């Protein structure tokens, strides 16, 4: 998303009050734009050392773009997290096993050889890998409610770096 920070259109009128008002409007516009530069924040997982090593390997293999969205990693910067499109898609590696995996009625999808458990949320779907040595979680905003394309695009990286569990 691109936000342009231009001063608002102003008509040319005479008088000092307009100068003061223009300065106030300009300062407000600049202040408003500076808040949009803040990065999205996510909780960084704290997996065991072996799982963290797998996650670091995954981080190196992740694509620069995902579903035509550019890479925009969340804060704090970590090899355990990644993001695309200003938090439209956020990946966290080494997350704890979701409670929903114990439910035999859980929804699941398979995308290019990687199995994912689906959790439907109001803000968009959350997927967590299954049958892997560590759990990889991918949250997507509501535009991806019925679109598993990002999972298919992540599959090669996940298969290469996060071995299947036996």
- Residue 91 scores a pLDDT above 80: yes
For residue range 47-68, list pLDDT tens digits in order: 999 999 999 999 999 999 999 9
More confident residue, 51 or 16: 51
The proportion of the chain whose per-residue pLDDT surpasses 70, expressed as a percent, equals 76
CA–CA gap between residue 96 and residue 109 (Å, rounded):
19
For residue range 112-163, list pLDDT tens digits in order: 999 999 999 999 999 999 999 999 999 999 999 889 999 999 999 999 999 9
Considering the entire predicted model, what is its pTM? 0.76
């Amino acid at each position: 998303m691109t936000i342009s920070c231009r001063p608002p259109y102003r008509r040319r009128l005479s008088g000092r009050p307009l100068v003061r008002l223009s300065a106030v409007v300009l300062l407000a516009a600049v202040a408003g734009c500076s808040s949009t530069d803040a990065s999205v924040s996510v909780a960084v997982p704290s997996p065991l050392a072996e799982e963290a090593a797998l996650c670091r390997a995954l981080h190196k293999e992740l694509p620069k773009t995902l579903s035509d969205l550019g890479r925009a990693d969340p804060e704090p910067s970590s090899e355990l997290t990644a993001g695309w499109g200003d938090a439209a898609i956020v990946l966290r590696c080494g997350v704890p096993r979701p409670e929903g995996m114990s439910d035999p009625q859980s929804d699941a999808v398979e995308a290019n050889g990687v199995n994912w458990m689906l959790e439907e949320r109001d803000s968009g779907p959350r997927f967590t890998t299954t049958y892997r040595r560590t759990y990889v979680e991918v949250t997507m905003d509501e535009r991806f409610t019925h679109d598993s394309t990002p999972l298919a695009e992540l599959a090669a990286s996940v298969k290469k770096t996060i071995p299947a569990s036996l």
